[in-house]
Amino acid sequence: MSGYVHPVDVAVVGATGLVGRMMLRVLEERPFPVRRLLAFASERSGGTELTFQGKKLQVRTLTEAALAGCGAAVALFSAGASVSRTFAPVAARAGITVIDNSSAFRMDPDVPLVVPEVNPDEAFRSNGIIANPNCSTIQMVVALKRLHDRYRIRRIVVATYQSVTGAGARGLRQLEDEVSGKTVSGGKFPHPIAYNCLPQVDDFMEDGFTREEHKMMDETKKIFGDDAIRVNATCVRVPVRGGHSEAVTVEFEEAFDEQEARRLLKNTPGVVVVDEPKERRYPMAIDAEGRDEVFVGRIRRDPTVGSGLSLWIVSDNLRKGAATNAVQIAELLLKSPSKAQKMVHEGTRSATKEIL
């Protein structure tokens, strides 16, 4: 990437998890201007060796003192909501800009919830913490952004087909063990996932929806800045290694032109349209895995309402649904000279004398 002020120190909290490791990979691939990479994890994972830019990197045990004094300009968090609630404010007070992948701050009115292709300006009203949305929400709002701008969406009905990597390493291990015939011990899911579909992602709430479904319903409104949108979500875990798929039907406030809708989708940043059903070409999780784009296909008018459109949306949940989106937010900030200079100044001011 070009246009940065200069390289910065970056901390990754939760560096040994699936998303944390993907954050390291994405930082390398884009490439992000990392001057020094500091990896943090729990005491159990402290001392683990990772590789970054061809060099060995030792993981540090996460403590308040170690994080506050690390000197990073930006910290990418992916260690769970409880860790974020404890340590993200510590980092922010030390002058480190936090981009948090957990659910801890997403619906906090004082914390921006950002998808760079959708609401980039929100990143610049941060008081030190920026929230990364839920993986399923991210890919949906990227695909719907320009359609919403043009026609105003009044209602969304979405059913997700979410891969096991969305449940972390334990979820992936359970699928692999079940497929290979191994005895499953300490599985992530309440039922077998191999050759099965589980209509439950996260815990159930009093209204019968799961927490994952509420994330999609609530976060979509916040990202679009429109509380009038009605969202109904059903989230399902499927025996797919990586890549979330979604069947989405939207109802617009006004009549729409189907061909214009297709053009809008094709011209939406971050979206790749794959829609040749007669040739059996449509987005699939197996093709999206390892990619940063959001793939859209099966585009067709909904005949049951006057202004409805149905879509099939697929994206890699570890990349665009988590790590890539977080890195893109950091890129946004570093492309702004005034913001970047402030980040670098604050991070340097908090640094200790210890240098890796």
Q: Which residues are catalytic?
A: 135, 244
Cross-strand pairs, 159: 234, 247
Q: How far is 293 from 322, CA to CA, in rounded Å?
A: 12
For 204, 271, 311, the CA distances from 258, given in Å and listed in that order, are: 37, 17, 12
Q: How far is 61 from 125, CA to CA, in rounded Å?
A: 31
Cβ–Cβ < 8 Å for 309, 301: yes
Cβ–Cβ < 8 Å for 248, 232: no
Query: Considering only CA atoms, which of 100, 126, 95, 56 is closest in space to residue 351?
Result: 95
H or E segment at 86?
helix 81-93
Residue 36's CB is within 10 A of a number of other CB atoms, namely 16
Burial category of 159 from C-beta neighbours within 10 Å (exposed 0-12, middle 13-18, buried 19 and up): middle
Q: How far is 272 from 326, CA to CA, in rounded Å?
A: 20
Query: Considering only CA atoms, which of 35, 2, 18 is closest in space to residue 344?
Result: 35
Sorted by sequence, the CB contacts under 8 Å of residue 247 that are 6+ apart come out as 158, 159, 161, 310, 311, 312
Q: Compute the residue count for the chain.
A: 356
Cβ–Cβ < 8 Å for 174, 189: yes
Task: Look up residue 158 and give its two tokens.
Answer: 């979405």
For 72, 160, 236, 344, the CA distances from 213, given in Å and listed in that order, are: 34, 9, 10, 38
Q: Among all chains, which residue has been given the structure tokens 């040739």?
A: 279
